[in-house]
């Protein structure tokens, strides 16, 4: 089993979001789940992807935090196909990733890996009283909520609470209260909170921060699935249009700015969302066992 650390959603070493990638040897099966959690804990990044080759164009991927297996992880998928491409296991072209969230189409270009998100689903809105609790969990109140936008739970593979803010300063100053955030995440059956500010001042679609303490992640510097969900959210509110390329900046508050691209297309009336990003291998080695 070969192990890699990849900086995803960036072209700069030690920026973006780090993911572990464990590349299984040809014919090697997935080890026990406990062992994969232990590997993820040893690598000490938010997620580690375990990649098994099924055929020349199909790869099965399982994703682990140090605590639990998750159905899908966007930045770890970008990292996985960065490894496969840069280590010359694949060339530019189209591939399939088999995940617990379904079969996803992947396009590998020279500079960008694009991945399909799972079918977007709007799962829940929040009333006024519920919204108060969401904002209070970050030391904020409803004065920080934009008048025309409301928090929602949306999934494009993983469910997150998308929480809009009306100014950049509120995004920067948001201070997570871990106990209520963890309790709310569990109560609403979500991975975590995705805070965002829609930016009219620059070429960035939105500035974001993502928190998932329920899964042992205090803050994450790039989150593909959450920004896929945000793409759908902004489309439903009429803030982006089909075929438009969106740009999200995340991780600036952590000193690890990440650039996440997205595109939404309509096929037969159904929204199809793709997330794109670059990746850089920072470390590689081999696990002896």
- The pLDDT of residue 289 is 65
My answer on whether 255 and 141 are in the same domain is yes
- The pLDDT of residue 107 is 96
In this predicted structure, the answer to whether residue 250 has a pLDDT above a threshold of 70 is yes
Measured distance CA(193)–CA(211) in Å, rounded: 5
My answer on whether 160 and 53 are in the same domain is no
My answer on whether 178 and 127 are in the same domain is yes
My answer on whether 110 and 150 are in the same domain is no
My answer on whether 139 and 87 are in the same domain is no
Measured distance CA(184)–CA(214) in Å, rounded: 9
The residue segments making up the domain with residue 47 are 2-117+277-286
Measured distance CA(63)–CA(101) in Å, rounded: 11
- The pLDDT of residue 3 is 97
Percent pLDDT > 70 in the chain is: 100
Pairing of strands 48-55, 17-23: parallel
- The pLDDT of residue 14 is 87
Q: Quick check: 249 and 262 in contact, CB under 8 A?
A: no
Q: What is the pLDDT of residues 209-231, one digit of tens each?
A: 999 999 888 999 988 899 999 99
Q: What is the pLDDT of residues 105-140, one digit of tens each?
A: 999 998 899 999 889 999 999 999 999 999 999 999
Under the banding of pLDDT at 50, 70 and 90, the label for residue 54 is very high
Q: How far is CA 86 from CA 81, 110, 215, in A?
A: 8, 10, 30
Q: What is the pLDDT of residues 132-165, one digit of tens each?
A: 999 999 999 999 999 999 999 999 988 999 999 9
My answer on whether 130 and 269 are in the same domain is yes
In this predicted structure, the answer to whether residue 272 has a pLDDT above a threshold of 90 is yes
Q: What is the pLDDT of residues 253-270, one digit of tens each?
A: 999 899 999 999 998 889
CATH number, residue 172:
3.10.310.10
Measured distance CA(206)–CA(232) in Å, rounded: 13
Measured distance CA(62)–CA(50) in Å, rounded: 5
My answer on whether 129 and 223 are in the same domain is yes
Q: What does the block give as tokens for 212?
A: 């998932």
Q: What does the block give as tokens for 284?
A: 């590689």
My answer on whether 92 and 162 are in the same domain is no
My answer on whether 254 and 125 are in the same domain is yes
> How does the average pLDDT of the chain come out, rounded?
94
Domain count, the chain: 2
My answer on whether 106 and 178 are in the same domain is no
My answer on whether 136 and 246 are in the same domain is yes
If one compares 185 and 73, the residue with the highest pLDDT of the two is 185
């Amino acid at each position: 089993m070969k192990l890699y650390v990849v900086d995803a959603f960036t072209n700069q070493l030690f920026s973006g979001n780090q993911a572990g990638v464990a590349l299984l040897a040809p014919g090697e099966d997935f080890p026990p789940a406990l062992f994969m959690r232990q590997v993820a804990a040893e690598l000490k990044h938010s997620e580690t992807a375990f990649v098994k080759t099924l055929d020349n164009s199909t790869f099965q991927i399982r994703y682990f935090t140090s605590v639990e297996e998750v159905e899908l992880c966007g930045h770890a998928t970008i990292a996985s196909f960065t490894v496969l491409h840069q280590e010359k296991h694949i060339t530019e072209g189209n591939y399939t990733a088999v995940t617990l969230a379904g079969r996803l189409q992947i396009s590998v270009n020279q500079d960008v890996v694009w991945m399909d998100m799972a079918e977007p689903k709007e799962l829940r809105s929040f009333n006024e009283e519920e919204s108060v609790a969401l904002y209070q969990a970050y030391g904020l109140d409803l004065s920080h909520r934009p008048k025309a936008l409301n928090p929602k739970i949306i999934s494009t593979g993983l469910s997150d609470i998308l929480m809009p803010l009306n100014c950049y300063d509120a995004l920067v100053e948001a201070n997570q209260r871990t106990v209520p955030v963890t309790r709310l995440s569990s109560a609403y059956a979500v991975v975590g909170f995705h805070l965002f500010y829609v930016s009219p001042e620059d070429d960035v679609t939105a500035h974001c921060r993502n928190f998932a303490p329920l899964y042992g992640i205090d803050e994450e510097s790039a989150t593909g699935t959450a920004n896929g969900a945000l793409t759908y959210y902004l489309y439903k509110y009429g803030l982006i249009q089909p075929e438009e390329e969106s740009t999200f900046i995340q991780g600036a508050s952590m000193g690890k700015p990440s650039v996440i691209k997205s595109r939404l297309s309509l096929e037969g009336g159904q929204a199809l969302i793709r997330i794109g990003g670059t990746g850089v291998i920072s470390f590689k080695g081999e696990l002896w066992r």
